[in-house]
């Protein structure tokens, strides 16, 4: 959802080395980026004990360690040494992910690689190279979207560190990131981005509710649930826009007419968001996503994370909120082929509209 994926700029990259494929230039930048993380890595415990570590960094890393322990002990997420090291990378994001879609199509481009299968983005450790790749796609006629990611997961193949880029995020956002990325290590189906991201996003949301409730942070939990409710409203607007755009793209109107209708519909979406936002007296807002330029690629990137969250929540609720039972159900789904999995998920009716938990009445 916007509040968790766009808002905190984390995209769950699967490990650029795993995605390198056979492109030599791409492999070189991937290897260089991964080597920097390895070479700069220090145990979090050592950073905490270092007198040169400033008080705020020490506090933030202590919070991250507590969230990590909660993920292992309470959420049942893997403990393979990931996020027990810290790497000062000296840049705002660890990777930049490139999304692309045809001018008149909402379906994202896919890139296929060993191990990871086909995914709907391509990640770069270097921002300039990410934008250069996006520019080439745009020149060929695609809509493109470049999003910085504060962290990523190599699915347990490597011991992922906490990059310094996560310090740009709030304590809540870092905890959410840890839950999300460890969920990818718990379950990953090669080639099914929507299923993988839906699962990780749901675990992230449920993890945040339980984490904040256990700590007695009622005000923070209220803000989180308010953010989820607002994000659902925004997504409802976006879903309507996607439906309208699909009709425009499927029409037999000439390209110039379809392009004009596309621009007009996106402008209407921005206007609807502004009208909705006018009733909110305080954050969270989602202005950045709307101001960053809306096109088929950004719409597709958002949908990839959110499309199945409501359906998967129905499964969790049917298990009474029991995470181990939920994981067993999801594991069975993961063993099906893509068509079988889609059939089972499609038969689940009435996706949950209830926010996880009920700490507060959602504000406007």
H or E segment to which residue 44 belongs: helix 44-49
Q: How far is CA 242 from CA 171, 194, 237, in A?
A: 33, 16, 9
pLDDT in tens, the chain (364 residues): 443 333 333 444 444 444 444 466 777 777 777 777 778 889 999 999 999 999 999 999 999 999 999 999 999 999 999 999 999 988 899 899 999 999 999 999 988 776 556 778 888 988 999 999 999 999 999 999 999 988 877 877 778 899 999 998 899 999 999 999 999 999 999 888 889 999 999 999 999 999 999 999 999 999 999 999 999 899 999 999 999 999 999 999 999 999 999 999 999 999 999 999 999 988 888 998 898 889 999 999 888 778 899 899 999 999 999 999 999 999 999 999 999 999 999 999 765 655 544 556 544 4
Q: State residue 193's pLDDT score.
A: 84
Cα distances from 15 to residues 40, 134, 156, 237, in angstroms, run 17, 19, 10, 33
| Angstrom distance (rounded) from CA 235 to CA 27 | 36
pLDDT at 361: 55
Q: What is the pLDDT of residue 13?
A: 42
Amino acid 294: pLDDT = 96
pLDDT of residue 114: 65
What tokens appear for 255 in the block? 């390209």
Provide CB contacts within 8 A for 174, sequence distance 6+.
Answer: 60, 63, 64, 67, 166
Contact call for residues 151 and 162 (beta carbons, < 8 A): yes
Residue found under tokens 């090669």: 190
Q: What is the largest CA-CA distance in the chain?
A: 68
3-class SS shares of the chain: helix, strand, coil, % to 5 = 60, 10, 35
Give the rounded distance of the alpha carbon of 203 from its chain centre: 12
- The pLDDT assigned to 199 comes to 96
In angstroms, how far is the first alpha carbon of the chain from the final one?
18
């Amino acid at each position: 959802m916007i509040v968790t994926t766009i808002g905190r700029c984390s995209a769950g990259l699967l490990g650029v080395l795993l995605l390198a494929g056979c492109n030599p230039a791409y492999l070189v930048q991937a290897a260089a980026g991964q080597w920097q993380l390895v070479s700069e890595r220090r145990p979090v415990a050592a950073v905490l004990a270092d007198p040169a570590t400033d008080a705020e960094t020490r506090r933030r890393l202590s919070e991250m360690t507590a969230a990590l322990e909660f993920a292992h002990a309470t959420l049942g997420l893997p403990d393979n040494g990931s996020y027990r090291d810290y790497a000062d990378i000296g840049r705002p994001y660890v990777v930049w992910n490139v999304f692309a879609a045809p001018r008149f199509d909402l379906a994202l481009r896919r890139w296929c690689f060993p191990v990871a299968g086909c995914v709907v983005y391509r990640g770069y450790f270097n921002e300039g190279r990410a934008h250069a790749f996006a520019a080439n796609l745009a020149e060929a006629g695609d809509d493109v979207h470049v999003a910085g990611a504060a962290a990523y997961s190599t699915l347990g193949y490597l011991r992922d560190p906490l990059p310094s880029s996560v310090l740009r995020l709030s304590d809540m956002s870092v905890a959410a990131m840890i839950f999300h990325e460890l969920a990818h290590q718990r379950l990953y189906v090669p080639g099914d981005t929507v299923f993988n991201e839906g699962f990780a996003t749901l675990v992230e949301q449920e993890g945040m509710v339980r984490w904040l409730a256990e700590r007695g942070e009622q005000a923070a939990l209220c803000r989180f649930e308010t953010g989820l409710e607002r994000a659902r409203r925004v997504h409802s607007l976006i879903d309507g826009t996607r439906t309208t755009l699909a009709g425009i793209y499927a029409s037999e109107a000439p390209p110039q007419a379809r392009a004009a209708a596309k621009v007009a519909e996106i402008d209407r979406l921005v206007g609807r968001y502004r009208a909705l936002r006018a009733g909110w007296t305080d954050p969270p807002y989602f202005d950045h996503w709307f101001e960053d330029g809306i096109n088929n690629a950004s719409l597709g990137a958002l949908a990839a994370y959110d499309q199945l969250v409501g359906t998967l929540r129905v499964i969790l609720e049917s298990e009474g909120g029991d995470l181990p039972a939920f994981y067993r159900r999801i594991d069975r789904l993961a063993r099906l082929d893509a068509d079988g999995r889609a059939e089972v998920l499609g038969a689940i009716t009435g996706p949950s509209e209830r926010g996880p938990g009920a700490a507060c009445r959602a504000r406007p």
